[in-house]
Each structure stands twice: as structure tokens, then as C-alpha cells.
Structure 1
Amino acid sequence: MNGQKTIAQIAQETNELSTLVKVLKEAGLVETLSGNQQYTVFAPSNQAFEVIGKQLDEIVANKEELKKILLYHVVPGVIHSQDIKFVKLGDIHKVKTVGGQELQINKQDDKIYVNGALVTHADIPASNGVVHIIDEVVIPSTVLQQK
């Protein structure tokens, strides 16, 4: 990879991802994103976490649920924005997350969406993968079913 810093280091040094860093620490996942294994991380911005507001406190209080939600944003391997090939506009590309669920990635008007969340900053290179900043926290259906 081109980046000299790990995904965790990039998140820690990016002001827009400070809430993500806080919840990654709560879930004990900073080490996972600091290793050598290659990942693609769809990183919710601080604003994305603000949207869910008080619900975030409830999620953080339940470490297992928090881990499921955070791992839903992590895909094994590296997916750059140019890797998302579409036969035609609106096609959906499905990828399996580290948590074992599927994320749907699609492209509309040259914008990339992950389960409806807009990628606001794509292709931030890391030594162990790539980071894409998104404007929403995406919640796996297994967590939604528990609510």
C-alpha cells in the first residue's frame, strides 16, 4: 500500500474521525486496525455519529453491539473507488464485512454510496488498507432486529 500509517493512525490523526476513534477504543478494535492485515474501512465522520445522538450512548454501553456495528464498516482486503466497476448506473456491488454481513455499494452520478451512506472522502491510503469517510453510521440488520 502507498500509505505509511496504519488505518488506526490515520483515524487518530484525522479530526473528522475523532468520534470513531473514541468508539474504536471502547470496543477494543484499535489494535485490529493497527496490524498488517489489509482492510477497507468505511469510516463514519463525527457528523455521522452526531446524527444518531443519544442512541450512540446506548450503543457504546453494549460492547458486543458496538463491535458488531463497527465491524460492519470494515471489509477484508482493499477496495479503492476505481475498483467499483458498474455495468450500468445503479448496479449494486455486494461485499462481505469482517462481521460476516453484506454491505451494498453502488454508484450514482459519480458518487459512491455504502448502504445509502455517501462516501465524502475516498481512497485515503494506509499501510494496511484504505479508508473511505462516509456521512452516516451504517447499522447491520442483526442489530436493527434486536431493537
Structure 2
Amino acid sequence: MSGTLNQEQALERVEQHIGNATANLPDSLHTESLGVIDGASCDDPTDNGPKVRIIVSHKYWLDGLQPEDNEHHAELLHQHWTNNGYTVLTDDRPDEIYISVENNEDGFRMSLQESAEGSLSLGASSPCIWPNGSPE
């Protein structure tokens, strides 16, 4: 069992991923937090490691964007991700705007989703981590 980022470092990395992605969207964008999850149980680790680890995540509404441009914004993010070392896990377009990706280098995941009302949300989450960065 090896060390991981600690909880604070993982949340910083989540914010970096979100910041890098939103930098590709129009200047009219402003984000509204939907909440931070900074200690969710990692009940189903994909790395076959211990279940006592946690994940951290943060999700935002992407405000200030025109709903009629959502497909264009989704494509901008898709291009950013595919050009910057992410693997697309899910892309439900054109039926609905839902894209999920995983960063090939650090295992952090991101997703973009359109609500029934036409608002976009963007989130990022860490892989399973030890809360203090090292096995307990």
C-alpha cells in the first residue's frame, strides 16, 4: 500500500482540473458551487485497494453561458480533455449532454452534465486517497 495525496492536496487538484477546464469557456462564465464532498467513502475502489480510503469532489453550476450554446461548450470541453491527457469514459451526445473523463496521469475524473432546465454543471473528483496521505 502506497501513499496518496492527502485530503487537502486532493481538493487542490480537483480545483486545478476544474480551473483548467473552465479556462476554455467564454469570459462570461462564472461558477456557483454545488458543494464540496471532502470525505466520501471509497466503497468500490477500482484499484482493488482498501475500502477505508475516501474521495473528494467539487461540483459547480456553469452560470453566464447561453443554453443554446451548450453543445458548443460541451465540444470545447471535450476537445480540451482529449487534447490534454484525459480518456473519455462516457459521451452521451447527441442524445443528451453528459460527458465523463478520467485524467490518464493522476486518475482524477471530471464530468459535464446538462440539467433538464438547460443549465450545465461541471465536477471533478479524486481517485481513492488516504485522508492523511498515507495508509492508516
Same-fold status (TM-score > 0.5): no
Name the TM-score class by shorter chain: 0.3 to 0.5
**Normalising by the residue count of structure 1, what TM-score does the alignment of the two structures yield?**
0.31
Q: Which has the higher helix share?
A: 1
TM norm structure 2: 0.33
